[in-house]
Amino acid sequence: MEEVKNSPVYLKNEAIERLDGNEELFEKVLEMFIAKTPSEIEKVSEAFLNKDYEKLIFHSHTIKGSAAIIGAEKLRLACEKIEKASKQKQSIEMIQPYVEALNPIFNELNKVL
């Protein structure tokens, strides 16, 4: 969990670079990300509570990809950890800190957007 805590929250310049410097496209993608991510986080939480590894993999992967595009590094990394641990069917207790961190990380991200 330390790796996630110590990672940058937001890497806007790198995100815009990945979109070939297209700031207008970045703003559209960012808007969609802000609108859709809370429901995806909720789906991760539900999958966690149900110990549904397949859904944990799917929904954490969805957030991870979107977070990578907009430069939300801390959120991307937390989702990467959830996805990897779920694929390895690690104990649900190992996954729990990352799942519980998603909403606070998203809230932290919203403060800098």
Read off the pLDDT band of 23 (50, 70, 90): very high
Find tokens 């907009």 and name the residue.
Answer: 70
CA-CA-CA-CA dihedral for 75, 95, 37, 49, to nearest 10: -160
Model pTM? 0.95
Q: What average pLDDT does the segment 15-22 reach?
A: 94
Q: What average pLDDT does the segment 64-76 reach?
A: 97
